[in-house]
Chain A
Amino acid sequence: MTSLSTRPDGKRRQLAPYAFIAPFYVLYGLFMIVPIGAGVYLSMTEWVGLGTPEFVGLDNFANLARDTSFHKALGNSMIFVLISVLIVVPASLLIAQALNTRGLRARDLFRVTFFIPMVLSPIVIALVYSLLLDRDYGLVNSVLRALFGAGTTDWLGDPTLAKVSVGFVLLWRWVGYLTIFFLAALQAVPRERYEAAELDGAGPWRTFTAVTLPGIRPVTAFVVVTSFIGSAQLFDEPFLITGGGPGEETLTVAMFVYRAAFDRQQFGYAAAAGLVLFVIVFGISQILNRLLSIGRTS
């Protein structure tokens, strides 16, 4: 970095950067810090939305610790996090590897088409999939009936299959998006390293672990953290496709918060649940960022 502000060149230049970042911090303060503060306060109250919130200390948290729905929601959210990090992320890397093959034709067609689900509204995706997966009329069961004579699978009504279905939609929606990052990373790995590995007689697997993986480490870290944060607060897909059901089999923490606040008017309780999610997600992603050294100023 050359000497931009090293020369004593008047106050204006020293103040300019603060003025430039001010709009962000004003909005950040008003719509992030203040609400988090208000959330901390609300979480220690009992409040139905009318009148004055009644201070109850840590009761909400104690109740959350005993609430089986909340446990279920935490468990389900964890399952969706695992699906994202252990299935969606590796699948994107695999597709990126395939798209990175030398001399592949129509690479852009594949890249762009795989990305399109990310562009669509979750509601559009959800309603198309709930029609496709419908037990009685859905195309998926019609195909199964035609092929195997048995197509009465209740894709959205069976506890396990409902999770699988939501997981599949997550995969379908996110994989093309994450592929973009991996593909760019793969293309940035210096070719000499591959040539050196080839000279050393390394096979494809060895090349992958010794050259490719280290070369794409920063992007992998970024993708893993992004997927973690995104899936830990999952709401749209399960809310729209299964409504959290059957029972509470696809209820996530974000849905738990929504229901507590807007179905049952337990605003304090909802705020407490939101805060628990915040602590978990923020804590884990700060640790991941530190471990993987993401987001440093250059």
Chain B
Amino acid sequence: MSAATPTPAAARPGEAPRTPAPVENRPRRRGSRTGRVALYVTLTALLLVFVAPMVWAVSGSFKPRGDIFEYPPNLIPSPGTFENFRNLLSGQPFWNWFAISVVTALLATAIAVFVCALAGFAFAKYRFAGKRLLFSVMFSSLSVPFAVILVPLFVLIVKSGLSNPWFALIVPWVAPAFGIFMMQQYIIQSIPDEILEAARIDGASEFGIFWRVVLPLLRPPLGALAVWQFLQSYNSFLWPLVLISDTDRYTIPLGLNILFKAENRSFDLVLPGAVLASVPTILVFLLLRKQLLEGLSAGAVKG
């Protein structure tokens, strides 16, 4: 699953297929030059469709309110200004929202990664009574739409006095079945039974095996799951929307939502807010993109 590195020459017929290397399996294209040009043109056009809205938003966030909708839009704001950012940060509890979002997402991520790795390990490396049933119960929770638990979970959480964001934004979401599935797939594929046996012979406890032998080998899927969970938690909207009513305890998405719904549609505050809100997710993604993209695809392909 390594990033695709093109092999120089096509395999000649008669040559033994280079065994497991899943590196270069692409269909052979008949080398039409126009076809290739068309391909690059299409992909580049598509790239622009993906990038344009983001560039427009970033550039707009540095423009005075009156210039945001200028046409044709200037890529480089002139005059550029930090006024919007200053207004946002001084007039709104933006850093509060930011802190709540980031900290709850980090906590949820740390716990989820641990819970999923542990359960994934059990499903991958042990035989036990009821395993099939338990696995399919776990897996089927992937197809439960959130809308069905939205109302009753809200009622239960509020009635039991747990509607505090530090509990309610974290604890119900730290055991994603998708993460267990991903871990289980990876452990089956890449952790040989022998090293577990060796650790057992050395007298390690079962949890010791997980903690000291298995976990250190799980770097790639842990990275993937961590990014995935962080994004889920940081970007979640509906649950915080029903749960949190105190503006000081808003998460970033909620904060941006009220700014945007405000009377004068304060897009000069909303754009810098959107840009700042995206910084952590884009950063996390760019840093761990390799793990995430490969972790996601590995689970699905071998699944």
Please state if A114 and B50 are interface contacts (CB–CB under 8 Å): yes
Please state if B149 and A102 are interface contacts (CB–CB under 8 Å): no
- Chain A residue numbers with a CB within 8 Å of B161 are none
CA distance A120 to B17 in the complex (A): 42
CA distance A4 to B242 in the complex (A): 47
- Size of the A side of the interface (Cβ < 8 Å), in residues, is 127
In the complex, how many angstroms separate the beta carbon of B241 from the nearest chain A beta carbon?
A: 8
Nearest B residue (CB) for A12: B206
- Chain B residue numbers with a CB within 8 Å of A31 are 149, 153, 171-173
Please state if A286 and B27 are interface contacts (CB–CB under 8 Å): no
A interface footprint on B229-265 (CB within 8 Å = 1, 0 otherwise): 0010011011000100000000011001100100000
Interface on chain B toward A: helix, strand, loop, or mixed SS?
Answer: helix
Nearest B residue (CB) for A108: B3
Please state if B300 and A184 are interface contacts (CB–CB under 8 Å): yes
CA distance A125 to B36 in the complex (A): 32
Task: Out of B11, B206, B293, name the residue touching A111 (CB < 8 Å).
Answer: B293
Task: Out of A23, A123, A195, name the residue touching B119 (CB < 8 Å).
Answer: A23
- Chain A residue numbers with a CB within 8 Å of B123 are 17, 21, 297
Please state if B300 and A222 are interface contacts (CB–CB under 8 Å): yes
Please state if B46 and A219 are interface contacts (CB–CB under 8 Å): no
Beyond A4-B196, A20-B122, A222-B303, is A127–B270 a contact (Cβ under 8 Å)? yes
Interface residue B274 (Cβ < 8 Å from any Cβ of A)? yes
In B259-303, which residues have CB < 8 Å from any A CB? 260, 267, 270-271, 274, 277-278, 281-282, 285-286, 289, 293-294, 296-298, 300-301, 303
Query: Which residues in A have some Cβ–Cβ distance to B below 8 Å?
Result: 1-2, 4-6, 9, 12-14, 16-21, 23-25, 27-28, 30-32, 34-39, 42, 49, 95, 98-104, 107-125, 127-132, 134, 137-139, 142-143, 145-146, 172, 176, 180-181, 183-192, 194-195, 198, 207, 211-212, 218-219, 222-223, 225, 229, 232-233, 235-236, 239-240, 253-254, 257-258, 261-262, 267, 270-271, 273-275, 277-278, 281-282, 285-286, 289, 294-295, 297-298
A-B CB proximity, top 10 nearest: A184-B297, A16-B206, A20-B122, A278-B148, A17-B126, A38-B152, A285-B143, A233-B145, A17-B122, A142-B71
